[in-house]
Amino acid sequence: MDQRARQNVRGALHEELGQAIRQTADDIAAVLARATDTSAAVPGSTWTVGEAAAHLALANELMAELAEGRERPYGDGTPQSLAAANAESLAVFGERRAEPLAAMIGEQAGRCVDALAATADGPAPVTPLGPMDRSVLASYLLTHMLGHGYDLARALRRPHMVDAERVAWCMPFLLSVMPAVADGSATAGLTARYAIRLRGGGSAFEVTIADGAVHVAPEPRERPDCTILIDPVAFLLIALGRRNPWSAMARGQVLAYGRKPWLGPRFPALFVAP
């Protein structure tokens, strides 16, 4: 399936997306299999390995229940409310052992995939980030798993599972949520049109900002103010707050050009990681 076409998938869960979710759950289980001490700290986080794995298991369960049509209030979509909901759920869930958490992560991911594959109809599930098309919910699940799977791999000094193919399946969620996670203080007074292109013939999309309002389109128009060419893995990790954009630029993974290339370094700061 063409990578750009993945951005526009709607309705029933695509089989390849379901496979990517299941494979990611397996990869996370393989990372956790080496964890003899889950009290180790996760770099860049206040959580331990056990807490991060527990959160991932609980989040997969939450998304499975949403996919099955159940209502599960979980914050109001703001970073502060989601952090509070995460803390509350971890406080009442005591499991921190690697093996049972790995099993729960895989079981609940599979449960969510099965529920999403069973039907494309019915009302849009109401997620922590608002109502969401079922295929976009699957993309959300994969994106969330990759972010925390990356954290666990770093903490346990194992290879991470983020790759260009899986990043392509994250794009429907990322594009849908970008307006909601824009930082109003950063976009205020800015008028700019960006074309974002992922290297390797991957996704391309447009982000237009006008007086604080953010609009995302799946196809860039001609003559944007700034074009950003970026490595797919770097794009996802920057979008999720796992990678410093200046580090990616220094490594040549990001290139900004066009009529106003100086707008490029400003782009990551316009959004708050979901």
pLDDT reported for residue 248 = 93
Architecture of the 3-176 domain: Up-down Bundle (1.20)
Residue 124 — pLDDT band, cuts 50, 70, 90? confident
- H/E element, 127: strand 126-127
Asked whether 199 and 231 are in contact (CB, 8 A), the reply is: yes
77 has pLDDT over 70: yes
Q: Is the pLDDT score of 123 beyond 80?
A: no
Residue 60 near residue 104 (C-beta atoms within 8 A): yes
Per-residue model confidence (pLDDT) at position 5: 47
Regarding predicted confidence, which is higher, 12 or 55?
55
User: What is the residue-averaged pLDDT of the chain?
Assistant: 91
Instruction: Please give the CATH architecture assigned to the domain spanning 179-270.
Output: 2-Layer Sandwich (3.30)
Helix, coil or strand: residue 223: coil
203 falls in which pLDDT band (50, 70, 90)?
Answer: confident
Share of the chain above pLDDT 90, in %: 77
Q: Find out whether 85 and 74 touch, Cβ atoms under 8 Å.
A: yes
Lowest mean pLDDT, pick from 3-12, 210-219, 256-265: 3-12
Helix runs in 33-78, H state only: 49-67
Alpha carbon distance 123, 133 (integer Å): 8
Q: Are 85 and 170 in contact (CB under 8 A)?
A: no
The structural domains of the chain, with segments of one domain joined by +, span 3-176, 179-270
DSSP string, 182-199: B-HHHHTT-EEEEEEEET
pLDDT of residue 155: 96
Residue 274 predicted with pLDDT over 80: no
